[in-house]
Structure 1
Amino acid sequence: MKKIAFSGTLDPITNGHMWVIQEARAMASEVVIFISENPGKKPQFPAEKRKAIIEQSLALQGWDDVSVMLIKGDYTARAAKRLGIDYLIRGIRNTSDFDYENLIQQTNVDVLHGAKTIFIMPPRDLGSVSSSFVRALQGPVGWHWSVKQFLPKPAYTAWLIDWLQQDWASLWQLENADIQARAALWFERLTGETAYGSAARHYHNLDHLVHGLSEITAWGRNINACADDVATLKKAFWFHDVVYDVPHGDLSNEEASARLWLESSLPKTAGEAEDVASLIRATDHLQENAITHKLKQVMLSVDLAILGQTAHVYNDYAVAIRAEYAIVEESMYKIRRKQILEYFLQQATAGTLLPDAYFSSLYGQSAVENLGREIADLTGAV
């Protein structure tokens, strides 16, 4: 077979879609992906953005025999026939899929005189994966860890950026054109390659940012916190780890991050500026004891909430921390990591690791179990 096409809204492209494309590559010498525009749908990403995400995902796999096209104002099957493509390929997950896709196939051939359809069955682990399934997971704390397993990396990163952009916009009065421009500039800086979006960051990255902001949102809703307190915490969390490469002997990362917030062109009153800076400094172990703030315990709890997540999430976190400190020799890393974890475990056992009651009740016991397990692993490995 010379050419085969795969079509869909692909909003976002999933690992299930990638599997279908891989199967198509095994059948044909050239594969074309059609991105269709369905007026009845409200996509998360515009068509051009979806095209870019798909192309990045293909490039990551090294699939240079696959191209991507936007289809506007035409039926996919008819467009395929016009381009010399005789077959479309579709994944069938269940009998409902088959009934629907078979009706489309009959319409394509009998009514539109377009390309025929080849149906294939995905493996069991991808049988339930679809764009709508993945989108339905967004929302609760940890949603990003849930969807990560179902998306190619470019699609996952694009989704995080889109979610973060909405959270960021909620913090500023964007109807003012000047503020809108400044906020956009700082969003690009905070999520870009020199900050949370850096490929060199394995833990203090976009995932960490989404997790913390999600925790703050959930905290606010569950205790009915005032909007100003939620906004203050979020602004502090956005900046608290933005600087992560201060030269040795200079300011701490947290202090440099606090100063970056204070120096930023983002709109802030004098009181708000110091409020946010204080919360950023509260995450610095060199300054923590000297900081007094009504939201300090919440900020510290949000920053350490990762320690009380489910075992598989914690294990991924431990792997990411090791990668973050890859420069440290293995035996030395294990010794220092164990010392830090033993300090955390002492606090967790005493109930002070997560000082805010809301977070302690959610994650306190899990943190004890996670920390004890990693310490045992390190003890056996030293």
Structure 2
Amino acid sequence: MKKIGFSGTLDPITNGHMWVIGEARSLADEVVVFLSQNPVKQPQFPAEERKQIIEQSARERGWENVQVVIVKSDYTARVAKKHGADYLIRGIRTTADFDYENLIQQTNVDVLQGAKTIFVMPPRDLGSVSSSFVKALEGPVGWNWTMKKFVPGPAYRAWILSWLRKEWDGLWEHAGAAVPAGLIDHWFEHLTSVQAYGGAERHYHNLDHLVHGLCEIRAWAANTQASQHDMDTVKKAFWFHDALYERDEAALFSNEEASAQLWLGSSLDAGATAAAVAELIRATDHFQAPAIDHQLKDVMLSVDLAILGQNDEVYLAYTHAIRQEYAHVEEPRFREQRQLALIQLRAKAEAGELFGDPYFAEQYNDKAIDNLTREIDALDAGRQGS
């Protein structure tokens, strides 16, 4: 078969969609993705951006024989024939899917004289994956780690950047004209770029970390009836606390102090508000933290440590990311230093002092002890085996 088509809104494209495209590649020399631009629907991303995401996802897998065509105000089956595709391919997950797709197939052929349809059945692990399923994951703490399993990398990155943009803009809505729109745009682009959390070498202190922390802050505020002002103050600090992350031991300032200075120089806030945010950023520096007295210090530190109390899958991903971030450290030294740090953290958790804020202590302390113990044991076994 020379050419086969695959159609859909693909908002976002999922690993299930990618599997169907992969099946199409095994049947034809060329695959055309017909991307529907339906004016009735309100997609997360405009058609042109979805097209770019699909193209990037295909390139990421080395698929050079996949092209994307945006369909505007026409039937996909008819457009497919115009592009030389006599067949469309569709994934069938359930009998309900078959009944619906069979009706569409009959309409495409009998009424529209368009392309015929080939049905394929996805593997069990992708059987429930759809765009609507993925969209429904957004919101609660950890949603990004879950979504990451079901969409290709470019779709995931686009989605969390969209989510982060809404979070960022929400911080300044109440400020009115006090903060120029250009300044807001500039700092969002900077913080999410390769210069900060979007950097390729940011294996842990990256966009994932940023999304997770902001969700933790939102959950804390909702469950403790914290004021909007307090929530925004912690969020601003979290946006900047790891903005600068260098490994230069000869640097004049610590990463946290450099990030605090970056915040103070941003002109996003001024006066006492700016100073309060800077103090919270400094609170994440274990050298400066003991001297800092701020009513939200325990919250800020707890948000930063919340990753220690996550489920097994997320915690394992975190430990792998930390190792990648310290890839420049030789294995024996890394194991030794990491184990010492974890033993100190576990001792604090066992003493009830790891999470200074009661909400986080209740949520994560017991699980943190389990996670830390498991990693300490694994590091110890690795040291003995080396």
State the alpha-carbon separation in 2 of the partners of residues 145 and 179 from structure 1. 33
Q: Take 2:177 and 2:91, find their aligned partners in 1: how far apart are those partners?
A: 47
Give the Cα separation in 2 of the matches to 1:294 and 1:176: 29
Cα distance, 1:39 vs. partner? 2.4
- Is residue 2:291 matched to residue 1:290? yes
- Once residues 171 and 177 of structure 1 are traced to their aligned partners in structure 2, the CA distance between those partners, rounded to angstroms, is 12
1:194-222 deviation line (CA, Å, top 9, x unaligned): 11011111100000000000000000011
Question: Aligned pair count?
Answer: 381
SS at match of 2:172: coil
Deviation of 1:319 after TM superposition, in Å, equals 0.7
Q: Does 1:112 align with 2:102?
A: no
Q: 1:236/1:177 Cα in 2 relative to 1: closer, same or farther (>3 Å)?
A: closer
1:111-190 matched pairs, under 5 angstroms: 111-173=111-173, 176=177, 179-190=180-191
Confirm or deny that 1:361 pairs with 2:352.
Answer: no
- What do residues 125-145 of structure 1 show as CA deviations (whole Å, max 9, x unaligned)? 100000000111111000001
Superposed, 1:160-309 pairs within 5 Å as 160-173=160-173, 176=177, 179-245=180-246, 247-250=248-251, 251-266=253-268, 268-309=269-310
Output the CA distance in 1 between the equivalents of 2:187 and 2:274.
16
Partner AA of 2:308 in structure 1: L
SS of the aligned residue for 1:90 comes to strand
Q: What residue is the counterpart of 1:44 in the other structure?
A: 44
Q: Would you say the 8 A contact 1:246–1:256 is kept in 2?
A: no
Displacement of 1:177 in angstroms is: 9.8
TM-score, normalised relative to structure 1: 0.98
Q: Where does 1:304-319 land on structure 2 (aligned, <5 Å)?
A: 304-319=305-320
Amino acid at match of 2:15: N
**TM-aligned CA distance change 1:92 to 1:177, over 3 Å:** farther
Give 1:66's aligned residue.
Answer: 66
Secondary structure in 1 aligned to 2:35?
strand
Structure 1 unaligned blocks of 5 or more? none
Name the residue aligned to 1:87.
Answer: 87
Number of the residue aligned with 2:377: 376
User: Take 2:186 and 2:116, find their aligned partners in 1: how far apart are those partners?
Assistant: 48
- Indicate if the aligned counterparts of 1:219 and 1:358 stay in contact, CA closer than 8 A: yes
Give the conservation status (yes or no) of the 8 Å contact 2:12–2:131. Answer: yes
What secondary structure sits across from 1:170 in the alignment? helix
Measure how far apart 1:249 and its partner are: 2.3
Deviation at 1:175, TM superposition (A): 5.8
The separation in 2 between residues aligned to 1:287 and 1:359, in whole angstroms, is 22
Q: What is the DSSP-based 3-state SS (H/G/I as helix, E as strand, rest coil) of the residue aligned with 1:172?
A: helix
> Separation in 2 of the partners of 1:205 and 1:97?
38
Q: 2:142 & 2:336 partners in 1: Cα distance? A: 30
* Segments of 4+ moved more than 2 angstroms: 173-178
**Contact 2:216 2:303 (8 Å CA) reproduced:** yes
Q: Over aligned residues, Cα RMSD in angstroms?
A: 1.1
1:172·1:179 contact (CA, 8 Å) conserved in 2?
no
Moved more, 64-73 or 166-175: 166-175
Instruction: Tell me, in whole angstroms, the C-alpha distance in 2 between the residues paired with 1:112 and 1:178.
Output: 54
Normalising by structure 2, report the TM-score: 0.97
Letter paired with 1:184: D
Deviations 1:173-208 (A, max 9, x none): 386496211111100000001110111111000000
Give me the whole-angstrom Cα distance separating, in 2, the residues matched to 1:356 and 1:327.
34
Q: Which amino acid aligns with 2:256?
A: E
Q: Separation in 1 of the partners of 2:303 and 2:130?
A: 32
Deviations 1:333-373 (A, max 9, x none): 00000000000001000011111000000000000010011
Letter of the 2:197 counterpart: Y
Which deviations, in whole Å up to 9, do the C-alpha atoms of 1:311-338 show, x marking residues without a partner?
1111110111000000000000000000
* 8 Å CA contact 2:38, 2:72 repeated in 1: no
Offset from partner CA, 1:19-61 (integer Å, 9 cap, x none): 0000000000010001101223110011011011111101101
Percent identity between matched residues is 61
Q: Distance in 1 between matches of 2:99 and 2:39?
A: 23
User: Following the alignment from structure 1 to structure 2, what is the Cα–Cα distance between the partners of residues 113 and 99?
Assistant: 20
* Residues 38 and 73 in structure 2, CA contact (< 8 A), matched pair in contact too: no
Cα distance change of structure 1 residues 72 and 178 upon mapping to structure 2, 3 Å threshold:
farther
Structure 2 match to 1:35: 35
Partners of 1:2 and 1:30 within 8 A in 2:
yes
> Counterpart of 1:336 in structure 2: which amino acid?
Q
Contact 1:58 1:66 in 2 (8 A): yes
